[in-house]
Structures are given as C-alpha cells and as structure tokens.
Amino acid sequence: MEENQELETKIETLNGMYIFNTSAAKIVPCILTIAEAASWLRQLISTNSLNLESIHDKLDSLFPVAIDYNKSLKTCKLNLPLPDIVQRLESTASCLWNAVAIAIKVEKDEAAGQMLCYSRLFVCVLLSIHETLIPSIERKLRVTQCYVSTLKVTIDHGWNQLHQMINVHLKENLSCLTEAANLFNEKEKKKYEKLKLEFEVSNFQDALKQGNIDLARQFEIQANIIGNVAILDSTLLLDLCRMIYNAILTLRETSLEDINYINYFLQRACEYLELEVPSLKTHADYSSLRYSILLLLANSQVDQNIETWDISKCAMSLRVLQNEYPKKVEPYSLGIDFCKKMGGSSVPQGIKEIIMRMISSVDILLNFDASMGIINEFANLDTRLALECLDYIFINKWDPERDHKWLEKLFIFRFFLTTQSKHLNNTEIIQNLEEYCSQAERRLMDVLSKHAMSSVITLLWNSGKKSEKTGKYLESIGFYRIALKNFISQEYADRGKLQRALMFVYIQVKEFKQCEELYEKMATADKHSPLTQLLILKIFLNQSKEKSCLECLEQIKASGHENAMDTLILAVSECRASKQLAVKAISILFEAIESQQVPEQKLVQWSVPTLCLLRYTSQLILKFVEDEQQNIFTYYLPTMQNLLQKALEYLNRIKTMKRFHETVDSMPQYQEGTSVDEIEWFASTSYNLALKCVAENMDDTNSLDFAQLSRKFILLIPHKEFTFPKMFHYTYWEFRSHLLYLTIIQTRMYRGNPDALLQVQIESLTLMNDISQKRNRQDFKDGCGSYENEKMDGCLSDALLLAFEASLQMQDQIKISEILITTAQWQNPQIEILLTDSAISMYELPRGLFMETIEPLIQRNVDNHLIDDFKICQWLRTFLDCALTLGKTSQLDLTERLLERIKEPLANPDTSNTDQLKQEVEMIATLSWNQGVNSIIKGEKTLGMAWCRTSIQFASLYSDHLETQLQKLWNSLASSAELRYD
C-alpha cells in the first residue's frame, strides 16, 4: 500500500472531527494502513536507517488519525469478522515497541531520541485501538503501563511537548480504569494501584526536577508512598529514591533559597528506604544509594544557614553515617566541617579526634589522597596536631617492608606539610624535622627511591634558599644539613650541589673551618668542580693567600666543565679588591677565552661580566696611579694598554652577534648584549691616556697606541641605531679621536717622515669630506643647533689645519692650492686666520712657496672687515718682508687696498690694538719705501714712485716723525734721480 494513500474509512468531516463508517469493509483497510506504517517504522528503526524528516511526516499524518479513529470506535459496537487482521495490528505494534525500546537505550542524538519516543507514543495509541476492538481489563492495564513507561522516558529527558501529549492520554486511560475498578480481581486491582502510584511518582519527579516545590509536595502527598507500601517493589522504590537524589543535586546547583525543602525531600527518601519492601535491603544498589542520600542530607544540613541550623539533626545524620559507613572517608570530612561550624577553642582538638577515628576505621591505603587532603587542610588550622596524626599513621599503620612505597609517600608529605607550615617559624620547623628524621631513619627499612629523595631535597633546598636570600644564614644552614643526612641524600646524584650550598652559607657567617671540613667530605669530582673551587677561592681571599687564589683560578680554567668559563668570570670578579691579583686574574681569564674554541653565542653571554671586570681592573689601576709619580704611571702603562687591547679584541669578536645595548645592569648580571656606555668608557679612557702621555712628554709610541685604541672603540658603536642626540655625540667623538690620532702622528713621532705626512694629509682630507657630508645630511640640518654646529666647526677646522700643514710640510703645491680654492668658498674668517697664521708660523717653509700660499689669502681678505686690521697688516708686513728678501716686487694693489681700509680707524684712536697696529703700519711703510727704492734702481721709476708715495701715506697714519723722515728721503731721492710727483 502506498505511504501517502488516504484512509478509505474517512467519509466526511463534522465540526472538525472525522466520522468513520464502522462497517467491516471500511475498518479493515484502515487497520492495514496503520499496521503498514508501524511495520515501516520498525524496519527503519531496526536497520538504523533513520530519516527523521520522513518519519516525523508519517507520524504527524497518522497519529491524529489514529487518535480520532480510536475515539470513534469507542462510541460504536460492532462485530469484527476478521480477527487475524486485529491480531496483525497487535503484532506490528508490539514489534515496533520492542524495536523502539532497544534503540532508545543506545541513541545519543537528542532529535533522534525524541523521534523514537514519538514512535513509542504512536504504539500506545495502536495498542489502545487494539484494546477498543477487543476490550479486556488486562489490555487496558497494558496500554496504561505503556503510557506510564513512555511518560518516564519523556520526564527523564525533559521532552516537555511529548510529556504533555502523553499526560492527556494517560489521564484518560486512568479515568477509564477507575470507572471499571469495581470489576477488577485482586491481581488486576494491585496492578491498577501500582500504575496510579507510578503516575503520581513520575509527576512528583517532574515537579521536583523543575524546582516546583509546592507541586512536588502535592504529587508526593497524592502518591502516598508509605501508605502504598504493600504495592511497592524494590525496583520502583529505589528508582523513586534515586530520582529524588538526582533532582536534589540539580536543585543544589541552582542555589535554591530555602534549603529546608531540600532537607525535607532527602529525609523522606531516607524514610522510604526504611520501608519493609521485599528484597529492598538485599538489592545490589540499596547500600550505595542510601549512603549517597544520607551523605547529601548531612552535607545539606552542615551547609545550612546558622539561623535555621538544627544542630541535633545534623549531628544525628553524621553519627548515622560514621556508624553505618565507618570505612568511608566523606563522613569524617563532613564531621570536620561540622566541628569547624560549631566553633570554639576546642575545634582543633575535636578535628584531631575525628581524624584519629578515620585513621582507625578507614583503609588509608585505598583512600590515601582523600585522607592526606583532610590532614593537609587540618594543617592550615593547626600544623602540630596535623603532624601528630600523620606521624601516627607513619609509625603504627603500615608494615615497613611491605608498605615501603606508602611510607615514602607519607615521608614526602610530612616534609611538605612541615616546610610549608604557616604556624611554625623556621627554627621550629628545623627542630621538628630533626626529631622526625630520627624516627623516620629507623622506620624506613629500604633506601629512599629517587623520586622520594628528590622531592624531599627539593623542599629543603627551597626552604634553605629562601632563608639564604633574606640573610637568615643560620636557618639556611639548618635546612641544608637536614638535606645532607645520609639516609636522605647519600645516593643523591647532586649531593655536591647541596654541599656547595652549605659551604656558601658557612662562608657568609665566617665559619671557614666547618667549610673546609665539609670540603674534605666531598667526592673527588665535586672537589674539582669549578663552583667548588670558586667557594674555596673565597676562603683564600679572606685569608689573603694570593698564591692559593691563583691556583684556584688555574684549576677552574683547566676544568673541562661546561660552566667553567662562567665560573671563572665570577671568580675573577671576586679578586677585584687587590689590584695585583685582579690584573693577574684578568690575564688568566683572557688566556682561557683565547685558548678555547668558544661559540660566538657563548661569547656574547660572557661579554658584560668580562668587560665589567676589565673596566673595574683598569679603574683600580688608574685610581692607584692618580696621585703617584710619573714612574709609577709609566710602569703600569703596558698593563693598561694590554687591558684595553683585550677589551677591544673581545668586543670585535662579539660585535657581529648582538647589537650593543644603551644600558647595562651592574655586574655580574648577564645580558644578551653589551652596553655602549661600556664601550664609550674604554674609548674615553684610551683618549685621556693618550693626552696624558702627550702632556708628560712620554714615548710617542704610547700616546699613538692609546689614540688608535680610542678611535677603534668608538668605531664599534653603531651610531645609526640611536636617536639624533646620541648619534651626534658618538659621531663627534669619532671625529675627535681621529683628529687626536692624526695630530700625534704629525706633531711628534713622525715629524719629517714623508710617509707619515702623506697619511696625515690623505686622512685629514678624507675626514674633512666626511664632516662636510654629515653636515649636509638632512637629519644633521634638522637636529643641529648652535652648540652642535660649533662642535662640527671645530672638528672641520682642526681637520683642515692638519691637512693644510701636512701639505705645507710636504710642499705639495697642488693640495695647497686645492685647499685654498675650497676654503675660499666657505668665507669663514676663523678658517682664513688659521690657514694664514699656520703658513706664517712654518719658518722652514720655502719663501717662494710661502708667498704663493699667503698672497691669495691676503687678496681675498684685505677687504674683509670680519678680520681685524692688525691681522691684515701683520699678514701684509710678513708678505712684503718675504718679497724683499727674495728680491721680488710685490703687487702694489694689495698695499693700496689695505691703506684705504685702515684709514677709517683713525677716528677711533682708543682701539685696544692701536699700539700693535701702529708698529705694523710703520713696518709696512718702511717695507713699501724699500720696495719703491728697489723699483727705481731697476729702472721702474713710475712703480717705484707709487711705492714711495704709498709708504709716506702709511707713515702719515700713525707716525708724524716717520712721515717727515720719509719725506726728506724722498726729496733727496727725487732730486738725485730727477723724480717728481704731486
């Protein structure tokens, strides 16, 4: 038959209800249609081929039809001629019921579960139709039983819609049964009463689960469990009590305000479990369920607000629990909570008594974690009493040989509770552990396992370290000494680590003898450990045994241990108090670094402490020689140079691995990188030493070496990685160190050496170019103020002067000319003065080259009023003097232009340099006269007359006497040479 075929019995609709033709010819097709649907559903469910949408569609179309069909049948009486058709209906309904019952137990999907329950409800309707066609009390009871069973499933899963549908039909069925109750025999009556009871219990369960306390109380009264004890069986009663327990658990999680209701229902469940129901107390689930309910009741009573707390009921529940279930841990835990809530000074002692009862009754091995948790919590209240409980277990409960691993666990836990105590001070903890160890050593028959050993030592180590960090060294000694007891750490792999920790605190309290005795007890390998040697070094330092200290350093250096170099750095830092020892220690450190193939990454880790040690040692020497004689300073110069050179080499090795940091913590904190402040200190120290060597007129080699070191240090700093102020600072000092280096080459050691002068010339010109390029960069233009520009001007002037003087000394006319051309564009008076004065002061300069150099400088500055008159007169006087010496004729226009310029100051005779200027002018007048006479002698009368006239005009500015004298000389000369001028 097709799935969507309409029922043939449907003939008309009246007021929304189907009216069926009740003739046999019409009934059979309808039954077959419903039976076919049931078979189809069973097949899908049995083969797990659930198409939820298709099944729901089928059920939604057939379910209301089956309901209405059943109602119509109940109103008619007919004789069914085909009993096999009705039997088929029952058979297919029963098969579908069984298939659903199996499937619903294993189905995890919520939607599929609801669909299966819906199918189960459909079966109930089919069985109801069967009962209508063939009425009987037994079949009525069966239908009701199916409805009740399905109702329980919907309540358990919370499927409210199905629950409501079932309730409607179930009430109708129960109503029909009630009407026929007078016809029931005893068996049927008992079954009927049980079904009613199950219905009320199910509703009670649902109301309680929903938190509807009033409705739950109403259903519980209607159920009258105690009054219906005769019809109860153990399964139904246990299911009821289990339901109450689960519902209360849910209600407690939702924080129901009135806890009295919770206690009421739990108390009722306890009463139900006391009913005389056959096989109840022998049921497998009885004891565990009763324990759970009693425990929950006691828990709820203990948690009750103090205002509504019924102490007697709570105490009684706890007594029942502890008496009936003495081997369970939870009742004792609840008893402790009850004791705390009671309060009073006797609480700790009361808790101890409860724990001791627990220890005597409970199998501690099976409940180890829970029991230790209770004792641990008690220790937070009273550590001493908790430890007494723990020690009772340790000494009395277990066999040392059979239960050794459990004794070990207890041993670890005992140390944990003691060392973490908030009620005992460290002195009391140490004393308590010393006493306990005396008992434990006798009780523990076997050697401690690695886990136990490690756990206990870790606790003692942490306690010792904590005391050590706060300066409580005697307490720290106590913890370390317990850890070093033979039965605790004799087989410990890192026993040497414990011994070194104890040695360290012995040293802190100046117990050197005990430290040495402990050293003698160490294993040979631990004695040779770099860390052990570091501790021994501290003893020798305290005893001022320099030789022994150096032996320790050598032993650390020779060690192949992975931490040898780190330890050596720390050891060298310990030697800082003595300059002699510090210098030797630093040498040993660098011997170690240079002798090993050290990975670059490791070098970086060592950089900060190593450089700090170098710096500290250098400072120690510098401070020592600060006020001493020069010979002391000279004596230590090679050492200083060696230390600075080592620092430079070290920095060069690590510079490619890590960027240098701007700041660094104080030594010996290890950093990933090196401080630029550290590098700057080495650079400035080298720079100052170079200056001091120059000032003391010492060997030029020293000053040059230090200047070169300064420059190399500065070059290590990555200028570009910093903001402008810091970048400018390092750039400026890079220029200054380079200038110092070139100055020393030029003025001292390499004077007269053409190769050295060539180096100075080339590097100075390059430096000039670098400075100019830097100044033209946009970041310099934006960042430089007057102060920065002044510093850059100074560097540029010094570099220019070095290049110019080197070119003069080399008589390199091409470079001299290039420099003069370049500087002419700058129009900088200070530069002009530097160049001219430098040329004038170089007496060994050939006079011809001198004139070629100074003449363009005078030419471009004779009208420059930024340069004072005295300077210009001085330059011209020197130039005229040189020309006369060489027998050359100077350019008259220079002298005439100067004459015009200096006429103006005559109106201000109070100028500060007037006397010097008068002297220079008189000399120029004299030199000009001589130039004129020489020209006349050579036959250049016109030029000669011009020179003489200029000479008399210069003389007239400041010296009437000289003017008169020159005028007389002119008259005489003009007469003899027949010269005349206006």
What confidence category does residue 518 fall into, taking pLDDT thresholds of 50, 70 and 90?
very high
Is residue 706 within 8 A of residue 683, CB to CB? The reply is no
Both structure tokens of 284 = 């497998």
Q: Is the pLDDT of residue 567 over 50?
A: yes
**Residue 981: pLDDT band with limits 50, 70, 90:** low
pLDDT of 731-745, one tens digit each? Answer: 999 999 999 999 888
Indicate the burial class of 179 (C-beta count within 10 angstroms; 0-12, 13-18, 19 or more): exposed
Q: Is 94 exposed, middle or buried (0-12, 13-18, 19+ CB in 10 A)?
A: middle
Residue 489 has a CB neighbour count (10 Å cut-off) of: 21
What are residue 236's phi and psi, to 5 degrees?
-65, -40
pLDDT at 608 over 70: no
Residues contacting residue 968 through CB under 8 Å, at least 6 positions apart: none
pLDDT at 53: 79
Tell me the mean pLDDT in the region 535-550. 90
Please list the alpha-helical segments (H only) found in 75-185. 83-106, 110-133, 137-157, 160-179
Window from 173-187, 201-215, 899-913 with minimum mean pLDDT? 899-913
Q: Which residue has the higher pLDDT, 70 or 814?
A: 814
Of the spans 93-107, 659-673, 817-831, which averages the highest pLDDT? 817-831
| Between 675 and 134, residue with greater pLDDT | 134
**Length of the chain, in residues:** 982
- Whether residue 136 has pLDDT greater than 50: yes
Decide: 387 and 418 in contact? Cβ < 8 Å. yes
The pLDDT value recorded for residue 673 is 43
Please determine, for residue 101, whether its predicted confidence score (pLDDT) is greater than 60: yes
Residues 480-497 have a mean pLDDT of 92
Where is mean pLDDT largest: 54-68, 193-207, 525-539? 525-539
Nearest-angstrom CA–CA distance, 496 and 211: 66
Q: Is the pLDDT of residue 33 over 50?
A: yes
Would the pLDDT of 787 be above 50? yes
**Alpha helices in 827-959, H assignment, sequence order:** 829-841, 847-861, 869-886, 892-902, 914-937, 941-958
Q: Which two tokens stand for residue 260?
A: 């009295």
Residue 389, token pair as written in the block: 């409980």
The whole-number pLDDT of residue 672 equals: 36
Q: What are phi and psi of 596, to 5 degrees?
A: -105, 150
Which pLDDT tens digit goes with each residue over 224-249? 888 878 888 888 889 889 988 988 88
Amino acid at 642: N
14-18, 120-124, 395-399, 590-594: lowest mean pLDDT where?
14-18
Over range 83-103, report the average pLDDT: 83
With a cut of 60, say whether residue 512 has pLDDT above it: yes
744-764 per-position pLDDT tens digit:
888 765 666 667 888 899 999
Q: Is the pLDDT of residue 663 over 60?
A: no
The band of 509, judged by pLDDT with boundaries at 50, 70 and 90, is: very high
Mean pLDDT to the nearest integer, 823-841: 90
Which is more confidently placed, 628 or 169?
169
Which tens digit of pLDDT belongs to each residue from 152-199? 888 888 888 888 888 888 888 888 887 777 878 888 888 888 888 888
From first CA to last CA, the distance across the chain in angstroms is 154
- Cβ-Cβ contacts under 8 Å for 498 (sequence gap 6 or more): 457, 461, 480, 483, 484, 489, 492
What tokens were used for 21? Answer: 């033709």
Residue closest to 275 by CA, chosen among 301, 238, 303? 238
Cβ neighbours around 454 below 10 Å, total:
17
- The pLDDT, as a whole number, for residue 627 is 59
Computed from CA positions of residues 255, 256, 259, 261, in that sequence, does the dihedral angle turn out positive or negative? Answer: negative
Question: What number is the average pLDDT over the span 201-223?
Answer: 83
Is this model's pTM higher than 0.75 or not? no
Cβ atoms of residues 876 and 895 within 8 Å: yes
Q: Which residue matches tokens 């006493």?
A: 435
What pLDDT is attached to residue 754?
67
CB 592 within 8 A of CB 530: no
Q: How confident is the model at residue 980 (pLDDT cuts 50, 70, 90)?
A: low
- Segment 677-706 mean pLDDT: 85
Q: Can you name the residues that pair with 14 across neighbouring β-strands? A: 17
Q: Which of 102-106, 562-566, 689-693, 720-724 has the highest mean pLDDT?
A: 689-693
Q: What is the pLDDT of residues 246-272, one digit of tens each?
A: 888 887 777 555 677 788 889 888 988
Chain centroid, CA 16 distance in Å:
75
Within 8 A by CB and 6+ apart from 375, the residues are: 355, 386, 389, 390, 417
pLDDT at 119: 85
Residue 947: the pLDDT is 93
**pLDDT (mean) for 503-525:** 93
> pLDDT value at position 905?
54
Return the minimum-mean-pLDDT range out of 381-385, 768-772, 834-838, 971-975: 971-975
User: Phi then psi for 433, rounded to 5 degrees?
Assistant: -70, -35
User: Would you place residue 296 in the very low, low, confident or very high pLDDT band (cuts 50, 70, 90)?
Assistant: very high
**Mean pLDDT, to the nearest integer, of 433-461?**
92
> Which residues does 957 contact at the CB level (< 8 Å), separation at least 6?
902, 903, 906, 921
Which of 394-398, 462-466, 639-643, 845-849 has the weakest average pLDDT? 639-643
Of 235, 238, 245, nearest to 267 by C-alpha is 245
Contact 890, 950 (CB under 8 A): no
pLDDT score at 308: 64
Amino acid 976: pLDDT = 73
pLDDT at 469: 94
Q: Where are the alpha helices (DSSP H) in 717-752?
A: 724-744
